[in-house]
């Protein structure tokens, strides 16, 4: 099974923290939230993860490139936020006709 992690949000309710750090990289007990997501999903049987980016995308890309999971992660950038349904529709080829998992964090 594949998963989609919705990580492109602006994190407006977490400002000023998200002015310089994307919401998915905000540290929780010293680890970025995205690190927890990836460990749970990829360590729990998900074969690969697609992560959408938008706000501060270069920081998410750098985190993924340094990750032990990098070979099982694909990134897709959204110049304009598509919303949950829009992201799923735009990337439906990634999932094919197989079941998939969508994860997002709202704050």
Please report how the helices 33-42 and 57-66 are oriented relative to each other, as an axis angle in degrees rounded to 10.
Answer: 50
Q: Which tens digits make up the pLDDT trace of 53-102?
A: 999 999 999 999 999 999 999 999 999 988 878 889 999 999 988 888 88
Residue 26, Cβ density class (10 Å: 0-12 exposed, 13-18 middle, ≥19 buried): middle
Whether pTM exceeds 0.85: yes
Q: Which tens digits make up the pLDDT trace of 30-54?
A: 999 999 999 999 999 999 999 999 9
Read off φ and ψ for residue 94, nearest 5 degrees: -60, -35
User: Alpha-carbon distance 74 to 4, whole Å?
Assistant: 10
Which helix (H) or strand (E) element contains residue 47?
A: none
């Amino acid at each position: 099974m594949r998963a989609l992690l919705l990580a492109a949000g602006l994190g407006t309710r977490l400002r000023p923290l998200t002015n310089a750090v994307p919401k998915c990289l905000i540290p929780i007990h010293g680890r970025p939230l995205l690190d927890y997501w990836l460990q749970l999903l990829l360590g729990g049987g998900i074969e690969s993860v697609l992560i959408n980016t938008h706000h501060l995308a270069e920081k998410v890309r750098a985190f993924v490139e340094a990750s032990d999971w990098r070979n099982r992660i694909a990134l897709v950038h959204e110049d304009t936020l598509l919303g949950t349904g829009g992201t799923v529709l735009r990337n439906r080829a990634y999932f094919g006709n197989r079941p998939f998992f969508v994860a997002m964090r709202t704050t």
